[in-house]
Structure 1
Amino acid sequence: MARMRIVEVYPMSGFWDRPWLDDPDGDAFAKLARGICDAYSEALDDEHVPHSVGTLRIFLRTGEPSPREVLVNDRTVVRSPVSWDKVREGFEAAGVRLVPGFASWRLADQRRVVLDTVHAAATGLARFRGLDQIVFDRARAAVEARDFEFTWASDWTTARGRRLRARCVFRTAPDGFGRMKLEISTADGSAAASSSEQVAWTTVEGFRRAARTLRWTAAHRVEVAPSVDFMRYDTGVLAVEVETSPSGALLLREVEIPGVFSAPPAFPRQPFDEEADLPPNPVPTAVELIVPDPDAREIRPVGGGPTNGIPEAWWQTLHELFGSLEDEAWAAWWAPSSVPVLEIQWYGVSSPDRMVLRKGKGKLYARIERNGAGLRALDAEEAAQAAHDDLAKLMRIIQQRMRLADPPPLR
């Protein structure tokens, strides 16, 4: 059976010279979460928590909220999990709406909120799915014990003659990218020295890829590619020559340094090691967790496709109308239903048009199936009206099937 072992914030990586997310607060959060999530996941992996899937992925909500989304201006809001359904493949998901201004906070406050948010998402999942919450508490404590920093070191590689050995030591920086240095010591550990730090890739898998490039090219020269991305592209080699002083100390000379990424990091909003100039005003670090009620009623539009051969005016109008199904009037209409979730989508088909209803465990599936041939004969205004009429017809069929009151008007 699978086990829950990874908690991660999406996106898990990105470019060095541009934001990972367009929203500054979300961008800062995602980058800082990279190392904290790796430290949390490493501790969780040791716990062997049985579950149907191995990953909890946290999505940051930015931009305009949906009509029914909970917004609180003085705290970060976590909804976990976002799906009632049992997840049998892929990943569990949680949603987060960040409190505004996160990108401008002190690093210590940012780290605390990132860890609190990640742990709240894991806690919500544990409560809803019946997992052992104590193991997640231990994972949180492990991150705090590491001072919110993820580090990883490779095994030692011994040089020819077996007098020297070297290994790669990585840490994840607040900009989301790793930093690597070479540690070199005598075989008995009596003398040691470290190289300068070099930029590494963002993930622990990238750290491992880089570590596999470590090699001694001579008895006193070692090389490594510090950054190897998921496409196996590296930014060059760090080459170090080792000398021994008369006192026995190791002296390192960096004879080759990798090409730094082509531009400064896209995370210049605050100097992480010099925070004295940042305002000391308290910031809203509270995190609120919302765990869904499995008995609550919800209308869940999930889009559709494929769009090939389907007029854009039809499906775009339909998606806009789907958004209106999340307002309070529609929630009140669906509230008396005997089924908790109404899931609505559309399909583009080559068969004749039809409306499909199917009842599952705790859910009513409703689908508009549309053949594009008839829609392509319409102009944009007519196609938009057809989308309105199709959804209105589907909602009327649902109303009759579930014996509900007349549906609210579509807007």
Structure 2
Amino acid sequence: MKNSHGRSRSTVQGPWKYNQGVDALSSVVRTVSMKTGFNKQRTMNDVSLKSGEVGVPASIYTFRELAAATQNFNQEMLIGEGCFGRVYKGQLKHNNQIVAIKQLDKNVAEGNALEGNIEFLDEIVALSHVRHPNLVSLIGYCADGGQKILVNEYISNGSLQDHLFNVSAERPPLDWHSRMKIAKGAAQGLEYLHDTASPPIIFGDLKSSNILLDDEFNAKLSDYGLFKLALDNYNSNNFNKDHHRSMMVMETYGHCAPEYAETGEATPKSDVYNFGVLLLEILSGRRAIDTTMPTEEQHLVTWAHPIFNDRKKFHLMADPLLENKYPRKGLYQAIAMAAMCLQEEANTRPLIADIATALEYLLYENFETNEMMYMTDAELAQEFGYQQEDDAEKQCNTSTD
């Protein structure tokens, strides 16, 4: 079946067959290219947003120095813990700088052979040259004996996970603008890793807990490079590859792309899938996996699956904590982007650069919230360049009769 523009409307359900997502994303990117002023702004920012800054060599610290900085890795200094290790807040004695000190888990850092230490140091050298406004900067490292520790810049405002799922009087819900700003920043950080970092870096484990926020809600990706470090360690220590794959998939369950679950191989397009899940979390305020929800709603992508194919239900995707204070057109476009990222076939997903461009436009376009909330479906259809589904069905039925 074809609509008035000659495009085939797929009858197969699922985000990976969501043609309106293709139309909406291409519409946003196309609109950006026609916005001369916006293009100038994007071009002026390209040096820092795409090329990043010139990196500086990472400083070398002794274990004793970092133990002193964290009060001997005191539990009270612990600010985070994940599959790659534990993170402590610390203060370097020589300059009083506040830093985040990550003591890597043995599955990431362990390696008795000299080869393991060389691989670790090679990775540190590569990461020390990575500099971008949306990436947590590596300040230094420690490789004393069996200890592998990273010293990163300290980001004061917690993680995206905290702000989405642990709302309190001291941490109010994120508004629409903040959510889009965070999504845009995360996409630009990922774009730098894929397209500018040399060699390119596959994140492999993108999720809300490793997106940190500064006081102005700028997103900074953390733990990039650690996925590869863990993978190299598994391989160099001759761990059972099937066991390794199952463990890594379990750690990313709910976020990982179908092909990664099958092969255990991370690619730029599997990162894009991860980003699609992240964008759904930002829009909906729901976790990728939430066992407290009814069975049919526990897996976020599965829950979103039918909504992608019914525009009349798009409002169900909005986080209730937004209290309907969001631009309806903006929500529709963001949902379309998520649907594109979540296509089952990897080669049909967009490049993260296209998503970053579309999100930047979505953030800076001056939506009038009240006006956009009450746009009719006909107005939205005209804006997106597709015909209303109900009208198309009526025309089809009429021609059949």
Report if TM-score (shorter chain) is over 0.5. no
- Which of 1 and 2 has greater Rg? 1
Per chain length, whose mean CA-contact separation is higher, i.e. which structure has more relative contact order (CA < 8 Å, sep 6+)? Answer: 2
Higher share of residues assigned strand:
1
The TM-score, its normalising length taken from structure 1, stands at 0.21
